[in-house]
Structure 1
Amino acid sequence: MAYILLGAVNIIAVYFCVRYLLQRKALRDAAQELHEITEDLELNRVVKLSSPHKDLEIFLAEVNRNLSATQKARILYENKEKELQKQIEDISHDLRTPLTAMLGFINMIDRESLSGEDRESLQVIEKKAQTLKKLITEFYDLSRLAADDYKLELKQIEFGRKVREMALEYYTELKNRKLDVKLDIPDIPVFVRGDDDALERILSNLLQNAARYAYSTFHIQLKAEGERAIVLLENDTEYLSPEEGASLFKRFYTADSSRSQGSTGLGLSIARYLAEKMDGELYAEVTEPGPVRWLKIYLKLPRR
């Protein structure tokens, strides 16, 4: 009798042990499945138990209900983004058409026949029209980048030469600000994998930013570290705090409206999006090592 009782106890123990192990495996499988779903909500999947358990099935039913609501919200958000992008595209086209015509008529005016005052007024009108054209273009490009509808042609580019060319293009503007400009570019080629137009646009926006906020010194340094090429742009500044430095790449952000010089607040945000589309990074920090604040902007790009 004792042997029968002991055997029964062993069977029950084995049963509960197996059941416990199966439930643990079911939880691990469910957790892995949930992780995969949350990593990519486009999968449109639900979490299932590999081993039946009444209480866990009730819990997972609630998890799946929330997943379904999240997936529906994602689809609704994507549809609204596409609708907004189409509206921006239509508005940009509607604005650019008459603006292009207006700029064409301005260029046709015989400036030599105008008085000095009228010539100055025409220059102001043309400058404002060009600023509006830039704003429309940047707003449209930013919407395309945010919607991942901006295609790049990635290839190997000698980045040191590109940095030198862009710095030379803006050298006069930087010198007119009486800045002490320093370039530290290695003699050996530093290649990155990127899009030529995107790199040019990023560097252009960063150099414009330097011309806007640098106080007396502007320094560009390029170096290769492992799988990344790093451009560090440094300048002293009177106008940016550490908090403002962290906000430079936010949409429509202008740190000092009195020095914005027609800035739309979109250029640096576009530059960051372009860097990220090339698997790179672009960020800024403001440090206060002493009485002078320094703005440091880091552009990191893959070398292959």
Structure 2
Amino acid sequence: MSGIKLLLILVIAVLIVVLLKYVQIKRQIRNLSKQMTDLTTGKSEKMLNISLVDKDIEQLAAVLNQYNEKQRQSIASTLRHEMYLKESIVNISHDLRTPLTVILGHLQLLKKENLSAGQKQRIETIFNKAERMKELIQTFYDLSVIDAKEVTPVREDFNLTNLLINLITENAPALEAKGISPVIGLPDYSVYLHSDYGMVERIFQNLIINAIRYSSGSIKIDLKQGKEKSAIFIIENPIDSKVEIEPNRLFERFYTGDKSRHNSGTGVGLAVVKLLTDKLGGNVFAKIENDTLTISLEIK
């Protein structure tokens, strides 16, 4: 009888040990599951804890750690490739814009020559295609900027007046093609700014192109020095009264007031203006009064 009791006690003891180990294993499985969830959701970057009571679970955790490390390397490689691609798009778009501007300028001059009707038609076709190519290059740049998670300003002192004059000169073929002679208001002195030259150049370029594209007759540009070394830039252009534009939505991605898209706008340019202006600590807003669109920009 005592032997049966001893056997029963032994069986109970074994069951208790097995139950305790089962509870430990369950707890560690839940812990591993939580760690994996934290890893996949980005809440944690720590490797899985492999100091476990069960060797099989420990081996599984080690395999999962190897998988996680490969995933990290793959993601890092993809991010490096994306950054390189975006930088390449920015550099290529900038490099292509200058020769295209020269081409457009010479085509504009050729259109004034004494040419035959057929020659004029060919020149006009080339000019329109070159303009379209310039717009596409700018769109590629804008999309690369708007998709970038990190856009960090690199600030320097530069002459903002000269930058604006250069951009107006660069866009002279497009202005002339639409018969627009911009009214430019500049102070008697040069306006200087301590900011990111490339970002400010892109902001001004997009605002000028937007005005050219949607203007129904003229463009007015004003630049002046603001308070505390800020700069204020205002650009106005009349718009077609038939085109419904919501000023408070102009800086949204892919918003275009012209639903017919006959002006080939993508709705990206002004979104980039807003993004870069925010990065520079500035303000930009739009209003429409008497069929005139006014965009006011302050860069601090």
Gaps of 5+ in 2: 1-40, 44-74, 97-118
Residue 257 of structure 1, CA deviation:
4.1
CA contact (8 A) 1:213 1:239 kept: no
> 2:149 matched to 1:141?
no
CA contact (8 A) 2:285 2:297 kept: yes
Residue 263 of structure 1, CA deviation:
2.8
The answer for the alignment partner of 1:155 in structure 2 is 156
Q: For the residues of structure 1 that align with 2:155 and 2:298, how far apart are their CA atoms?
A: 15
Residue 211 of structure 1, CA deviation:
0.9
Comparing 275-284 with 125-134, greater Cα deviation is found at 125-134
Residue 260 of structure 1, CA deviation:
5.1
Q: For the residues of structure 2 that align with 1:123 and 1:189, how far apart are their CA atoms?
A: 34
1:83-94 alignment to 2 at 5 Å? 86=79, 89=82
The answer for the alignment partner of 1:232 in structure 2 is 234
CA contact (8 A) 1:193 1:278 kept: no
1:116-265 alignment to 2 at 5 Å? 134-144=138-148, 147=149, 149-227=150-228, 228-239=230-241, 244-259=246-261, 261-265=263-267
Residue 133 of structure 1, CA deviation:
5.7
Aligned-partner residue type, residue 142 of structure 1: I
> 2:268 matched to 1:270?
no
CA contact (8 A) 1:180 1:216 kept: no
Aligned-partner residue type, residue 278 of structure 2: E
> In structure 2, do the counterparts of structure 1 residues 301 and 125 end up closer, same or farther at CA, with 3 Å as the change threshold?
closer
Provide the aligned length of Structure 1 versus Structure 2. 199
The answer for the alignment partner of 1:287 in structure 2 is 289
CA contact (8 A) 1:154 1:278 kept: no
Aligned-partner residue type, residue 191 of structure 2: V
Query: Taking structure 1 as the reference length, what is the TM-score of the superposition?
Result: 0.54
Identity %: 25
Q: For 1:258-294, what per-residue CA distance to the aligned partner results, in whole angstroms no more than 9, with x for missing partners?
A: 4554332211111211112111112211112xxxx11
**3-state SS in 1 of match to 2:188:** coil
CA contact (8 A) 2:232 2:299 kept: yes
**3-state SS in 2 of match to 1:212:** helix
Query: Taking structure 2 as the reference length, what is the TM-score of the superposition?
Result: 0.54
CA RMSD of aligned residues (A): 4.1
